[in-house]
Structure 1
Amino acid sequence: MNTLLQALESYAAKTISILDTTISSDLYVPLDLSKYNEALMDLDITDHAVCQAYIDDVLKSKQGVIAYGGYLEQRNLYNDKEGFTSSSKPVRNIHLGIDFWCDAGTKVIVPLDGKVHSFKNNTTIGDYGPTIILEHVLNEITFYTLYGHLAVDSLSGFYKGKIFKAGDVLATLGTPDINVNYAPHLHFQIIKDLKGNEGDYPGVCAEGQLSFYKENCPDPNVLFKLL
């Protein structure tokens, strides 16, 4: 285990909430949006309304409020988005963070102390929409967390260097028209090296890039400890 993973693993012994703290962690239920999920075979998962209906069914069947998952999941969710499926480049369909699917307007909670590194409204269809990146130092290790698909007013009053403490409200979740055509959710990603990016960083990679991105973007559940 590398030093960042060790720091994340040791940060907390219990589950950390990333959304509204009034929602108990036992109301988080796992969600499979991989291309191998047979329940999705006949669904146009690229349609945010169809995707939302499927998520609602999963939450209802498991009596949950938040559906989560997706780290290193190979998905068909991006099949209609040119930036992911261009014929001139390798197909990008491997997800590099954890998605938390919940109602638009749900509060996003800062999981550990940090400061604003950068922020941006990434408006290309299939991108993040409003996005915030925080910088953290844990056990003398600097790393970053990315929060995508936020409400646009979440960026109001932001500035580089703004301090947030663990448990602070960072933002709220956006609607499909704001988060560029996805069902409402938070994309959360841990990044060791931003490679000069500001307010944006790839959240999906091609199979040939997986070795690098798996190393640079470790599994967020090492921090969250969701069952």
Structure 2
Amino acid sequence: MSNQLDKETLLEYLRSLRLLASPIIATDGRATVLDLSVGSRLRGREINNLGVAEFSDLIDEVMRDADTDFAFGRYAEPRELYSNENFAGNETSENRTIHMGLDLFCAADTPVHAPLDGTVALLENNARDLDYGPMVVLRHATDTGQVFYTLYGHLGLDTLKAIEQGQEVRAGEQIATVGSPPHNGNWPPHLHLQLILDLMSLDADFPGVACKSKQDYWLTLSPSPAVFFPQYDAKSLEYPPCN
């Protein structure tokens, strides 16, 4: 790993900034947490093989039940949602199923803001079905100059024209909007947020889902981004057991 910043050092640094960090999306403080894990149901319904419209409607119903406009999808959660060839393992027949980021389901066109000062390292449109769709990666540095990244996936198409690669952004500055299907990778409207220690030269192909057999490696490279939502219990946003 070329970046010497380790997982615990980064998380400790980010926790120290929690009163300074601007909200990526300003929630209502009542966001519910979805169970999208293997074998789970929402409102009694199986979630596998739902069309995007049905899945979106079901999530909207769950949010209405909870009297909120926001719902989290958990970090490190094993999921069966990733069904197409994009999620085949590169070296084995094992599919990628472990979610490496944190999802925040909300209305399309919801503004997305930079949580910290940074630079637009990547601005791409991964347009394949069930991919990131429009995505942004910001490059940040700690107060000692150690580099890390935040990745934002499933964005609105307008994002691709609103900012430029190499552009400097300030904490609190709008960098994107939440996208809608089919242009957001054909998912229910949500932000996929991922914290990354080292892009490993993978750039826009850095995975958001890992094989279970390699989850320790990938989840070390992508620690939990729950630190960016300090008003919520971090453990509730992470699939157990999660260190």
Question: Normalization by structure 2: what TM-score?
Answer: 0.84
Q: Which residue among 18, 23, 30 is the counterpart of 2:24?
A: 18
1:34 is the counterpart of 2:40: no
CA RMSD of aligned residues (A): 2.1
Q: Which residue among 65, 68, 92 is the counterpart of 1:64?
A: 68
Q: Which residue among 132, 149, 160 is the counterpart of 2:165?
A: 160
Report if aligned partners of 1:119, 1:198 keep a CA contact under 8 Å in 2.
no
**Structure 1 residue 121: Cα displacement:** 0.4
For residues 11-37 of structure 1, give each alpha carbon's deviation from its aligned partner in whole angstroms, at most 9, with x where no partner exists: 114895322x4x43x132212111242
Report if aligned partners of 1:11, 1:223 keep a CA contact under 8 Å in 2.
no
Larger mean Cα displacement after TM superposition, 49-58 or 39-48: 39-48
Report if aligned partners of 2:31, 2:70 keep a CA contact under 8 Å in 1.
yes
Larger mean Cα displacement after TM superposition, 115-124 or 6-15: 6-15
- 2:82 corresponds in structure 1 to 78
- 2:111 corresponds in structure 1 to 107
Rate the CA distance shift 1:11–1:45 in 2: closer, same or farther, 3 A.
farther
Report if aligned partners of 2:139, 2:150 keep a CA contact under 8 Å in 1.
yes
CA distance in 1, matches of 2:150, 2:115: 10
Q: Which residue among 5, 17, 37 is the counterpart of 2:11?
A: 5
- 2:181 corresponds in structure 1 to 176
Rate the CA distance shift 1:184–1:70 in 2: closer, same or farther, 3 A.
same
Rate the CA distance shift 1:37–1:44 in 2: closer, same or farther, 3 A.
closer
CA distance in 2, matches of 1:145, 1:15: 13
CA distance in 2, matches of 1:186, 1:27: 17
CA distance in 2, matches of 1:82, 1:70: 23
Q: Secondary structure at the match of 1:156?
A: helix
1:143 is the counterpart of 2:148: yes
Larger mean Cα displacement after TM superposition, 90-99 or 35-44: 35-44
**Structure 1 residue 110: Cα displacement:** 1.1
Rate the CA distance shift 1:6–1:154 in 2: closer, same or farther, 3 A.
same
CA distance in 2, matches of 1:37, 1:13: 35
> Map of 1:194-205 to 2, 5 A cutoff?
194-205=199-210
Gaps of 5+ in 1: none
Larger mean Cα displacement after TM superposition, 195-204 or 56-65: 195-204
CA distance in 2, matches of 1:30, 1:154: 27
- 1:97 corresponds in structure 2 to 101
CA distance in 1, matches of 2:155, 2:47: 26
Report if aligned partners of 1:46, 1:77 keep a CA contact under 8 Å in 2.
no
**Structure 1 residue 58: Cα displacement:** 1.4
Question: Normalization by structure 1: what TM-score?
Answer: 0.90
Report if aligned partners of 2:23, 2:228 keep a CA contact under 8 Å in 1.
no
Q: Which residue among 114, 133, 138 is the counterpart of 1:134?
A: 138
Q: Where in structure 1 do 4 or more consecutive aligned residues deviate above 4 Å?
A: 13-16, 85-88
For residues 99-149 of structure 1, give each alpha carbon's deviation from its aligned partner in whole angstroms, at most 9, with x where no partner exists: 011111111111111111111100111110001100001232210000001
CA distance in 2, matches of 1:4, 1:216: 11
Q: Which residue among 47, 51, 69 is the counterpart of 1:47?
A: 51
Number of aligned residue pairs: give it: 223
